[in-house]
Chains A and B, each alone.
Chain A
Amino acid sequence: MLLYIHFPFCVQKCKYCAFYSQVLVPEMVEIYEQALLQEIDFWARNLGSRQIESIYLGGGTPSLCSLSFLKQVLEKIHHYFKVPSPIEFTLEANPESCKKEQVKGWYQLGVNRVSLGIQSFTEENLKLLGRIHSLKESRKAYYLLRQAGFKNINFDLMFGLPGQSVGKWLEEVKMGVSLRPEHFSCYGFTLEPGTYFAEKEKDYLWPLEEEVAKMYLYGAEYLESAGYLQYEISNYARMGYNAQHNVGYWEGVDFLGLGPSAVSTIGQKRWQNPPNIKQYALEVEQGFKGLKVERIEGIKEVNEMVMLSLRTCKGLSLKKFRQKTGLNFTQIFQKSLEVLYNKGLISFRKGYVRLTRPGLLLSDSIIPQFFLEEGLCPDGDKS
């Protein structure tokens, strides 16, 4: 199983972020830390000594997390679960919080992959997004990480920002590439309801759909030419550096999420912890009696497999689909497949169907076409 740990605190909320996070207040951090340690105990008792495939510390801003707490967490995890060595262990970090001692500490505790929230290589856009770091801090963070010995670093970048042109975006990608990280996540800007940008949408000049599409396509081409292979809608890596944790999600591997708002899926059961820290702590205290469990089986399970695997460049295994459903994918969706194939939006390779790059750009319109519906129940579903 994959292990995700959520650290919900930030110095300041970014203007585009819709995640549940809150400003770092010592009293709240204390409640959080106590509860999280208790939660590990709880799941250890209930799940037994499982093997962990990867660890991911996300947020919020987990780079704000204290080293002593992190140490306690890891000790417990190693104590209760089977943790193979080596294991991919990612930590999300914001450039401004990558202090020398901190970075060294992470490395010593076994973190071996850092996902750096660069977001943009222009001061203008950083300010626009409400980020608190500067370009200089981004560079400095990167060198500190390298100095500390990190050999697997990801850059998070955003495109489709107000005022951004295709050319300006490619400049940013180029700047990122010149630093030679192992991995890029390039996210198209999304207006999330409830965020500052959603409220002030009309005050900004947003690039046209056609422009954003070009940013995506040209950006991907540039990255590939620089040796970063696309393996998912928003993810690119040098050979051998795909994020195993995230690939796990798309392959449907079980995952345990710790911390407020974290989601878990284990053995077809899915649940989410309360996002509010106090409620979360209470829930842990009471042994998760109030959790609502969603069962991921039958059509839901199949549709998720289709949805997640078609996000990846590997695509959907026709064999796996048949094993899960007893149905022949190419047969039941022949009409849609033909049309999409003729328009160059999908391709077939070695028993897989996948979306081409223009197809990925339209994935939300394409994927639902391959969803099963009630009544067309897969054979495997006994319910």
Chain B
Amino acid sequence: MDIKKIRNFSIIAHIDHGKSTLADRILEITGLIGDREKKDQYLDKMDLERERGITIKAQTVRIPYRAKDGQEYILNLIDTPGHVDFSYEVSRSLAACDGALLVVDATQGVEAQTLANVYLALDHDLEVLPVLNKIDLPSAEPERVIAEIEEGIGLDVENISMVSAKTGEGVPELLEKIVQFIPPPKGDRDAPLKALIFDSWYDPYVGVVVLFRVIDGTISLGEEILMYSTGKTYEVIRLGVFSPEAVSIDQLGPGEVGFLCANIKELKDARVGDTITHPKRPTQSPFPGFKKIKPMVFCGLYPVDPGDYEDLKFALEKLQLNDSSLFFEAETSQALGFGFRCGFLGLLHMEIVQERLEREFKVNLIATAPSVVYKVVKVSGEIVNVDNPAKLPPPVEIAAIKEPYVRMEIYVPNEFVGNVFKLCEEKRGIQKDLRYLTPSRVIVTYELPFAEIVYDFFDRLKSVTRGFASLDYEVIDFRESDLVKLDILINGSPVDAMATIVHRDKAYYKGRALALKLKKVIPRQLFEVVIQAAIGNKIIARERIAPLRKNVTAKCYGGDITRKRKLLEKQKEGKKRMKKMGNVEVPQEAFLSVLKADE
């Protein structure tokens, strides 16, 4: 394979700007997939991704392409996850590329993630080709958006491509630009093997499948390879490329992208970011090594039916096989029984996992409100990480609590800037920067406590900007804050699964809102139910649910018996979906009220 004929590139874009559609069109126009086998958005494998219009797991395709110069090229399209939760994976995918297509929606313009990804690409010295998508739509504003790309991002727009990924217009010209402007890879065929793992997943039949890009040297079928960080060696039992189906190949050289199987049993033995080399002649310049991905958001997941505990465990184990960033450990709650504390990269990641558990594994879940990780400095000087509010040490032992902060960039049309300020201030944000991308669009930079965005920030932002804002954030540091544990008591007993850590200034408001919300979602019972919110021993809110006085069927004679029995049996079934707290039956949604008490 002539290294000069290879082009390795990614497509970077904001959600919904048309990344997957463009990828599909490229596959189609180059003849790699026919119309018949073309499912819309070929690259997004999972249903869930298709539904959300996002790509979670990177997929890569090798595309043979005959350019106008008559030469045969190999285009390796390396797909990247498109969400902030997966930024490390994005960065590894980009590290495997030499160029990137920056897709911007001509009707929307530059968004927060666009910029974050462009900077990542530029950090990796990639040639970034701007692509204006959706030019066929009447609402397209190419001039405005081109100005944003030029002035806001500072990209050279001389080579900008105007396409409609939907109709295919402009895509053939784009392919020529890829060949022309994205540089071919550099690499030394005779140097020791150095290959970068940029994706891996578990397949029940062949074990772990590793996607990699060769930098230097060659890798061949049957060879022994070494995973640099673990020191483990494996024999390559399968080597190939996806085009788009798996095609076996005997050897891959510098600049090439492919997959291998080597009887690797666990995903953690082939981590994204690791270096593959030969044990007998290892490379002297491995990649800096993979970053250990730390879960940032935690929540408790409990089966509604305690009998489903094993099923839930099995399902989490299965998911973890292909998602090494998913963390879980057994946890017991007085309120909810046996379940798991689960850690996620971010909120989207959490939602996806919950949905997959319910949809693919049919486990009925109760999820507690998400929490971030707090660093608690004890009086003794010891520092403990607390990812579950119920586990916060008693106040007397606490010297200080530090909470994670994020830096957030929000892109917003300037008429909504005031609303964004208001929201961020309400969420304890500190404004850091404000600049104009174009005369009508603004980038606002805030530092915010992560805990504040875990609740309803995204929904609120959407509503105060009528959906026109986009954002990107990263966790920057831990800062000391005046935080307290807000307990919820039902008939005098604290419900551990409803405890939250909140800022002292907001505790009263939050406690009252929460108690009121619970009053609305907990049905009346045979006995009085008292809901209290408390900080330490101090009750800050109290609501009462009056007992049920009358629930009786007046008539039950011969003809009524079956119907009546079924009705009561159904009622009993319904109650099984509730959690019993003392004598009080609490519906699932009550546990989520903690999330939505502000509504």
Query: What residues make up the interface of A, taking CB atoms closer than 8 Å to B?
Result: 2, 4, 187-190, 209-210, 212-213, 216, 233-234, 246, 249-250, 255, 257, 261-265, 270, 272, 294, 300, 303-304, 307-308, 311, 339-340, 343, 345, 360-369, 371, 373
Contacts and interface: CB of A to CB of B under 8 A. Distances in A.
Given A210-B549, A343-B526, A303 B558 contact: no
A264 B558 CA distance: 7
Interface of B: 526-527, 548-559, 561-562, 564-565, 568-569, 571-572, 575, 583
Contacts of A272: 559
A218 to B, nearest CB: 13
A249 B559 CA distance: 10
A367 B566 CA distance: 12
15 contacts: A209-B549, A210-B549, A233-B554, A250-B556, A263-B559, A270-B562, A307-B556, A311-B556, A343-B527, A360-B552, A361-B551, A363-B553, A364-B553, A366-B526, A368-B572
Nearest to A358: B549
B569 A263 contact: no
A361 B555 CA distance: 13
Contacts of A250: 556
A263 B562 contact: yes
Given A303-B569, A363-B551, A363-B553, 14 more contacts: A4-B558, A189-B554, A257-B559, A263-B559, A303-B568, A311-B556, A339-B583, A361-B549, A361-B550, A362-B551, A364-B552, A368-B571, A371-B568, A371-B569
A368 B549 contact: no
A173 B575 CA distance: 37
Contacts of A345: 526
A264 B564 CA distance: 15
A209 B568 contact: no
Contacts of A308: 556, 561
B551 A304 contact: no
A117 to B, nearest CB: 13
Given A343-B526, A366-B526, A300 B565 contact: yes
The B interface, classified by DSSP as helix, strand, loop or mixed, is loop
A2 B548 contact: no
A262 B562 contact: no
B556 A188 contact: no
B569 A368 contact: yes
Nearest to A364: B551
Nearest to B570: A368
A365 B564 contact: no
Nearest to B576: A373
Contact of A213 (B549, B564, B571): B549
B552 A257 contact: no
Contacts of A371: 568-569, 572
B558 A212 contact: no
Contacts of A369: 572
Given A2-B558, A4-B558, A339-B583, A362 B548 contact: yes
Nearest to B553: A364
Contacts of B527: 343
B567 to A, nearest CB: 8
Nearest to A270: B562
Contacts, number: 99
Contacts of B554: 187-190, 233-234
B492 to A, nearest CB: 15
B557 A249 contact: yes
Contacts of A234: 554-555
Contacts of B553: 190, 233, 363-364
B83 to A, nearest CB: 43
Interface centre among B550, B553, B562 (most CB of A within 10 A): B550
Contacts of A188: 550, 552, 554
Given A365-B548, A365-B551, A246 B557 contact: yes
A248 B565 CA distance: 17
B550 A257 contact: no
Given A368-B568, A368-B569, A362 B561 contact: no
B526 A365 contact: yes
Contacts of A373: 572
A262 B549 contact: no
B552 A363 contact: yes
A367 B556 CA distance: 14
A367 B550 contact: no
Contact of B562 (A210, A294, A364): A294
Nearest to B571: A368
Nearest to A208: B549
A304 B526 contact: no
A307 B551 CA distance: 14
Contact of B555 (A187, A294, A363, A365): A187
Contacts of B557: 246, 249
Nearest to B556: A311
Interface centre among A264, A360, A369 (most CB of B within 10 A): A369
Contacts of A212: 550
Contacts of A361: 549-552
A28 B365 CA distance: 56
A293 to B, nearest CB: 12
Nearest to A246: B557
Given A212-B550, A308-B561, A339-B583, A364 B556 contact: no
A209 B550 contact: yes
A90 B575 CA distance: 40
Contacts of A257: 558-559
Contacts of A261: 559
A261 B563 CA distance: 14
A367 B559 contact: no
B564 A307 contact: yes
Contacts of A362: 526, 548-552
Contacts of B561: 249, 263, 265, 270, 304, 307-308
A294 B526 CA distance: 33
B584 to A, nearest CB: 11
A213 B568 contact: no
Nearest to A210: B549
A304 B558 CA distance: 11
B562 to A, nearest CB: 6
Contacts of B550: 188, 209, 212-213, 216, 361-362
B210 to A, nearest CB: 46
A167 B351 CA distance: 56
Q: Nearest 5 A-B pairs (CB), nearest first?
A: A368-B572, A187-B554, A263-B559, A213-B549, A364-B551
A187 B526 CA distance: 22
Contacts of A363: 551-553
B169 to A, nearest CB: 57
B558 A265 contact: yes
Nearest to A355: B552
A246 B526 CA distance: 29
A6 to B, nearest CB: 8
Contacts of B559: 257, 261-263, 272
A340 B553 CA distance: 19
Contact of B565 (A210, A303, A366): A303
B558 A263 contact: yes
Contacts of B564: 307
A294 B568 CA distance: 17
A262 B568 CA distance: 22
Contacts of A210: 549
Nearest to B569: A371
Contacts of A343: 526-527
B555 A307 contact: no
Contacts of A190: 553-555
A188 B550 CA distance: 10
Contacts of B548: 362, 365
B568 to A, nearest CB: 5
Contacts of A270: 561-562
A2 B558 CA distance: 10
A290 B20 CA distance: 57
A261 B555 CA distance: 17
Contacts of A339: 583
A212 B550 CA distance: 8
B516 to A, nearest CB: 22
